[in-house]
């Protein structure tokens, strides 16, 4: 997000966040992140994102095939939106 008209952009940001679910990093996510990192050696942020999706039984929607396609055997339900076209 580019911060030009701050008041309007902050309002858009607040509307987006208010309709979102925030997942805190708990011990289950930490444990799954460690498992992912040990097996796949991917970057920590990507491992946390994937672990959060796996632990909470969510579909991870991303364009990051390089990292996330590797995780189907670990229980990740991954979808690249470009494949929907």
Residue 74's pLDDT is 94
Tokens of 13: 């940001």
Q: What is the CATH number of the domain that holds 49?
A: 3.40.50.1010
Q: Is residue 12 part of a domain?
A: no
Residue 25's pLDDT is 97
Q: What CA dihedral angle connects 9, 10, 16 and 20, to 10 degrees?
A: 150
Q: Is residue 15 part of a domain?
A: no
Residue 85's pLDDT is 77
> How does residue 5 score in pLDDT terms, banded at 50, 70 and 90?
low
Q: Is residue 56 part of a domain?
A: yes
* CA end-to-end span of the chain: 26
Q: Which residue in the block uniquely carries the two structure tokens 């040990």?
A: 38
Choice between 72 and 60, residue whose per-residue pLDDT is larger = 60
Q: Is residue 47 part of a domain?
A: yes
Q: Is residue 65 part of a domain?
A: yes
Q: Which structural domain, as residue segments, surrounds residue 60?
A: 23-84
Q: Is residue 8 part of a domain?
A: no
Residue 26's pLDDT is 98
pLDDT at 16 over 70: yes
Residue 4's pLDDT is 59
Please state, in angstroms and as integers, the Cα–Cα distance from residue 51 to each residue in 1, 11, 41, 46, following that order. Answer: 26, 30, 13, 8
Per-residue pLDDT reduced to its tens digit, 17-66: 888 898 999 999 999 999 999 999 899 999 999 999 999 999 999 999 99
* Domain count for the chain: 1
Q: Is residue 17 part of a domain?
A: no
């Amino acid at each position: 997000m580019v911060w030009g008209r701050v008041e309007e952009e902050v309002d858009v940001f607040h509307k987006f966040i208010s309709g979102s679910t925030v997942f805190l990093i708990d011990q289950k996510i930490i444990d799954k992140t460690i498992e992912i990192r040990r097996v796949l050696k991917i970057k920590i942020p990507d491992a946390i994102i994937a672990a959060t999706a796996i632990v909470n039984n969510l579909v991870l929607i991303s364009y990051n095939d390089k990292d996330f396609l590797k995780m189907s055997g670990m229980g990740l339900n991954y979808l690249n939106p470009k494949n929907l076209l």
